[in-house]
Structure 1
Amino acid sequence: MALLFCTFRPSVALPSRFFAGQRRSITIKQLEAAKNDRERVVILGSGWAGYNLARSLNPKKFQTVVISPRSYFVFTPLLASTSVGTLEFRTALEPVRSRGSKYEYIQGRADAVDFGKKEIMVRETVRDPNQGLLGVRAGEVKDERPLEMRIEASRGSLFSMHYDKLVISVGSYSQTFGIPGVKENAFFLKDVQDARKIRNKLLSCFETAALPTTPVALKKQLLNFAIVGGGPTGIEFSGELKDIFEDDMSRLYPQLAEHVKITVYDVADKILPMFDEKLAGYALEHIAKGVTVKTSHRIKELRRGFPNIEGVGDFHDDVKASGFTLSLENGHQSEVGCGFVVWSTGLMSNPFVAKALSSSFTAPASCVRLLSNIDDSPESSADWEVQKHPRTGSIVTDDYLRVQLGSSASHSEPQPAAILRDVFALGDCAVIDGTQYPSTAQVAAQKAKWLAKKLNKGDINTQGFSFMSQGIMAYIGRMNAIVQMDKGSLSGRAAWMMWRGAYLVKSISWRNRLLIPMYWTINWIFGRDISRF
């Protein structure tokens, strides 16, 4: 049995506490002692794949350890609602540490992995200054400490952890396509922190525009909101944004109603391409009542600060700097001033996948199985590389979600394709070879439940994973939605009721199943809370 150790501070032990039968903190020695005869399954990530897998594994058979920089699971379909106050942020969260959970949790992120030794290198992230701060990406909050101090504070201690089985479910980042200024200035919608930043910025734009010293030219740009991406996330957010303006902001700021503009931009020639033409056409017709949709528009740059405004003096320099300039190309170049830009245009590889799993490595024969004959192993160690999808950079797996290997480019003789024993990848960071399953929560959750069932039964080599689509849906504002299923489609108010009902049922905990309808009702009766705090 491998001995686990802390690399930097091996003698430091966290205090042991117990709450409702679950260890709230645990040292590496305690973790090793509690393993008994169980296999240790280390899960990287607490998203749809990792969180559902951890909750489904048999604790009598496996010692499950979740490693993630986020101490919570995010119910992503509700983020658009939380960003405008239709729901509160807690309703979209499930704490990883909870009463009755039968797994351990460590707040950290994987830095490296040694597949030959079956060890993962983890960096603690509890003191990471990027955790829990608003506006880190869009410059809302600034850390005034010297650069050296900020870097040192973000570097948590490293420790090594042995695994018997490793599950890589680290998720993905928003795709920016290398467009200048997008990473630094755009607002994304992947996490609750993103939703908090959007909500704070939205209210800030209205309050600034309501000031008697703000000229009309600035009001128009402050209240011009852009959404880049015509997929379900972008369209749902534009629908929620239209709702809060028509339901609340138009009553609370009647003098600003004429200046508000919401625009959806997409490089494609149509929105919602995953829906059939009838449903996409219905959505476009409905959402156009309050939202401008501009397709075939390419984003060239996003920079902080409004473009030059005639008739506005230096007195308003601080207000001008609070906005953004979106450079567009649609046959000709143009610049648009925006209060904020929400970016929702696809996914890119997580840095752990892109960097830590990009180097070639040598693994003993016991860690590798050849795909040509699943019972065979290579005769000796060889130089391998984790296979990546050529377009998305995602980890390529077989039908059993096992990480596929290819021969290293530096190897003198090509090796046959193989898989890593006891290493699985699922969620947005992985793709099954030869399939085109969408990168959605539905696919990730089904993969997690399938893998848990196989591991619990110990029959991983039987029938492989197959995705069963339960349909797709999107909210389009004003209590209307579209739903597409194999057996038919639905639109309008009935689809909206199905949309709400499905997300309510899919919520993980009974706490949120009670809170969500309560907030829906309270905000419908009394209006959304627009306090800034």
Structure 2
Amino acid sequence: MESSKSKSKHKKERVVILGSGWAGYAVARTLDPAKYERVVVSPRSYFVFTPLLASTSVGTLEFRTILEPVRRLPQVDFFQGWADDVDFDTKMVRVEVNTSSDMGSQTVIPPPPGQATENPSKKGDVFDLSYDKLVIACGSYSQTFGIEGVRQHAHFLRDIGDARRIRLRVLSLFELCSYPSGAGLLTDDDKRTLLHFAIVGGGPTGIEFAAELHDLIYDDLARLYPDLLRFVRIAVYDVAPKVLPMFDQALAKYAMDTFARHGIDVRTEHHLERLRPADGDLGSRHGALRIKVKELGDDEVGAGLVVWSTGLMQNPLVAKLTGKKLSAAGGTGEAGQRLATDVRTGGLVTDAYLRARTTSSEGNDSAAGAGAPPAAAGRLLEDVFVIGDCAILENDPALPKTAQVASQQAIHLAKRLNRGDVSGKPFAFRNWGTLTYLGSWKAIHQSSADELKGWVAWVIWRGAYLTKSMSVRNKILVPVYWAISWLFGRGISRF
């Protein structure tokens, strides 16, 4: 543990930022280094430009074009590891060291409460890190709804390691199915199963991945594996009556019609109940899966790849912090307080200035979900801020969990800290619109000012993502790789 003497030597206030996603990276990037000592703690050493993650998973872009190394930020200290706990009384963060890039670069879903993980790993070394101000921006995890087999067998698409695994799997499946059926390896039915690509979730991430996968298969792989196209099927499964619920009915219908023309099967109001390996060698050797869908009765659907994109769940760190009781020394003014949470999402409740709110241990958090303070006895942790997916604003609890919201919260907080008046101006989200790529140079765009579709929306989609890329390096690399993919085809090498 750091000594008080060591802490007193800090000439500037130390701001410890938990997370390097849209919220954490933007805070670290925007805070004034002349006023604050900035320290980032994250299991991954980079920021991922997630809107273009689907493009990297199919070879349209290379992985490094959407990464921004945290250590490249000037005068920012970085520790690669997980924030394991926070002592709000002594202002200490306990950090578990993570030196394995694989563990931090792909989605790992924790088991349900009370269930042990299948392959428990030894806990890493830990150390304590003091802070003057703490920014909790650790994000959230993919929601599996406790469906059997999803944690173990589905692919997620939230990090660069996920995209790499998906790209390898898709290319490997085509290579595997290219052998002659008469060679005794795979039958036509086996190939039909392996080349069924199932995407679960009809939000922007699932829809864009389906579109990018369609482009890869029919623009590039069709020339290399023409005999396999008759086996290929791309399907999107969603429990809602329509995909893309954040778009109005006309744009959502345009998306459905576009997918129908592309041959992408959209199955709405379908409830997945189980995911398991296929029987025999097809499952054990070749990784085929069987999907049980409620609406299909006892019949199971075979697939070679299942990509899961169905929503968010509470980060384990947030769950741990909400169970802690704070003392009066923790800044609440009275003992027996704990962090206030939203009952529906499990997110940490903040005031309009993004400061963490507390409630009495006996208080009822149900009001937080309705947009009211969680309990009359609630106080504020003046030096603890919560932003991004793990935050719920008490005055605007319905804000979507998107990169746009997280980025705006981060920049707002950093600018207020730079001014030294956090409570001078409340956070107000400005919706710049929603974009989704539909494949074949078509997209949809919806904002308060306009609704666009087709090629024009695609131009806006690419322009918006290009301008939002963080570094000058990637603002150059992204259009270069777009041009290379257009002229010479997508990357199809497996390594």
TM-score by length of 2: 0.91
Equivalent residue number for residue 368 of structure 2: none
Moved more, 322-331 or 46-55: 322-331
Could you list the per-position Cα deviations for residues 223-277 of structure 1 after superposition, in whole angstroms to 9, with x for gaps in the alignment?
A: 0000000011110000001101110111110010100000000000101110011
Please tell me whether residue 514 in structure 1 is matched to residue 476 in structure 2.
Answer: yes
Once the 2 structures are TM-superposed, how far is the Cα of residue 455 of structure 1 from its aligned partner?
A: 0.5
How far 1:334 moved relative to its partner?
2.8
The letter for the 2-side match of 1:178 is G
Q: Which residue of 2 aligns with 1:431?
A: 392
CA-CA distance at 1:332 after TM superposition: 3.1
Secondary structure of 1:166's counterpart equals strand
Deviation by residue 1:71-108 (Cα, 9 ceiling, x = unmatched): 0000000000000001111111110011x512111111
Is the 8 Å Cα contact of residues 107 and 158 (structure 2) preserved in structure 1? Answer: no
What residue number does 2:60 align with? 86
Instruction: Give 2:96's aligned residue.
Output: 123
Structure 2 residue runs of 5 or longer lacking an equivalent are 110-117, 365-374
Counting matched residue pairs gives: 472
| C-alpha deviation, 1:128, in angstroms | 7.1
2:419 matched to 1:457? yes
The alpha carbon displacement at 1:333 in A equals 4.0
Q: How does 1:123-142 map to 2 (within 5 A)?
A: 123-127=96-100, 130-131=103-104
- For 1:151, the equivalent position in structure 2 comes to 121
- For residue 353 of structure 1, the aligned residue among 290, 315, 318 is 318
1:146-185 equivalences under 5 Å are: 151-152=121-122, 155-185=123-153
Contact residue 128 and residue 156 of structure 1 kept, 8 A: no
- Tell me, yes or no, if the aligned pair for 2:85 and 2:321 is still in contact at 8 Å: yes
- Check 1:331–1:511 CA distance in 2 against 1; reply closer, same or farther (3 A cut): same
SS of residue paired to 2:359: strand
Alpha-carbon offset, residue 317 of structure 1: 6.5
Q: Is the 8 A contact 1:127 1:156 kept in 2?
A: no
Corresponding letter in the other structure for 1:296: E
Question: Does residue 111 of the first structure (1) align with residue 87 of the second (2)?
Answer: no
Report SS of the residue matched to 2:156.
coil
**1:367 matched to which residue of 2?**
331
Alignment partners' CA distance in 1, 2:107 and 2:175: 18
Q: Does the alignment pair 1:191 with 2:150? A: no
Aligned partners of 2:270 and 2:294 also within 8 Å: yes
Paired AA for residue 221 in structure 2: M
Shift in alpha-carbon separation, 1:230–1:410, aligned structure 2, 3 A: closer
| Residues 162, 223 of structure 1: alpha-carbon distance in 2 compared, 3 angstrom cutoff | same
| Structure 1 residues 206 and 128: alpha-carbon distance in aligned structure 2, compared to 1, 3 A threshold | closer
Contact 1:135/1:197 (8 A) holds in 2: no
Q: Shift of the alpha carbon at 1:426?
A: 0.2
One of 230, 233, 244 as aligned partner of 1:258? 230
Residue type of the alignment partner of 1:426: I
- Residues 85, 95 of structure 2: 8 Å contact kept: yes
Match of 1:66 in 2: 40
Quote the residue 2:240 is aligned against. Answer: 268
Unaligned 5+ segments in structure 1 are 6-28, 138-145, 308-313, 369-377
Asked if 1:502 corresponds to 2:472, the answer is no
Match of 1:398 in 2: 351
Deviation, 1:316, is 5.7
Native 8 Å contact 1:4 1:161 kept in 2: no
- State the 1:465 CA deviation: 0.4
Task: From the superposition, tell whether residues 135 and 108 of structure 1 become closer, same or farther in structure 2 (CA, over 3 Å).
Answer: closer
Moved more, 436-445 or 203-212: 203-212
- The amino acid that maps onto 2:132 is D
Q: Which residue type is aligned with residue 403 of structure 1?
A: A
Partner of residue 482, structure 1: 444
Of 182, 205, 210, 2:173 maps to 205
1:200-245 deviation per Cα after TM superposition (whole angstroms, max 9, x unaligned): 1101111111122321010000000000000111100000011011
CA shift in 2, pair 1:335/1:434, >3 Å: farther
Shift of 1:363: 3.3
Q: Distance in 2 between matches of 1:120 and 1:76?
A: 27
Matched, 1:294 2:267: yes
Identity of matched residues, %: 49
Q: Which amino acid is the alignment partner of residue 85 of structure 2?
A: A
Q: Give 1:485 deviation, angstroms.
A: 1.1
In structure 2, the residue matched to 1:387 is 340
Residues 224 and 417 (structure 1), Cα distance of their counterparts in 2 relative to 1, 3 Å cut: same
SS at match of 2:169: helix
CA offset at residue 360 of structure 1?
A: 2.2
Contact 1:227/1:264, CA 8 A, preserved across alignment: yes
Question: Is the contact between residue 47 and residue 68 of structure 2 (CA under 8 Å) also seen in structure 1?
Answer: yes
> Is residue 57–residue 452 contact of structure 1 (8 Å, CA) maintained in 2?
yes
Q: 1:359 to 1:162 in 2, by over 3 A?
A: same
Pairwise CA distance, 1:410: 9.0
Corresponding residue to 1:51 among 25, 48, 59: 25
More helix by share: 2
The residue aligned with 2:378 is 417
Question: Shift of the alpha carbon at 1:362?
Answer: 1.8
Mapped to 2, the partners of 1:128 and 1:471 lie a distance apart of 34
Match among 338, 358, 362 for residue 303 of structure 2: 338
Query: In structure 2, what is the Cα distance between the partners aligned to 1:347 and 1:323?
Result: 26
CA distance in 2, matches of 1:451, 1:198: 36
Deviation for aligned residue 1:523: 1.1
CA distance in 1, matches of 2:146, 2:2: 43
In structure 2, how many angstroms separate the alpha carbons of the residues matched to 1:93 and 1:4? Answer: 37
Contact conserved, 2:282 with 2:288, CA < 8 A, in 1?
A: no
Residue 283 of structure 1 corresponds to which residue in structure 2? Answer: 255
Q: Match of 2:217, as an amino acid?
A: F
The answer to whether the 8 Å contact 1:91/1:516 transfers is yes
- State how far apart, in whole Å, the 2-side matches of 1:341 and 1:439 are: 23
Deviation digits for residues 381-417 of structure 1 (CA, Å, limit 9, x no counterpart): 3101111111111111110001111100299xx8711
Q: Match for residue 207 of structure 2?
A: 235
1:431 Cα deviation after fit: 1.1
Q: AA paired with 2:149?
A: G
Instruction: Verify the 8 A CA contact 1:181 1:302 in the aligned structure 2.
Output: yes
How does the TM-score come out when normalised to structure 1?
A: 0.85
SS in structure 2 of the partner of residue 513 of structure 1: helix
Matched residue of 2:121: which SS? helix
Range moving further from structure 2, 76-85 or 212-221: 212-221
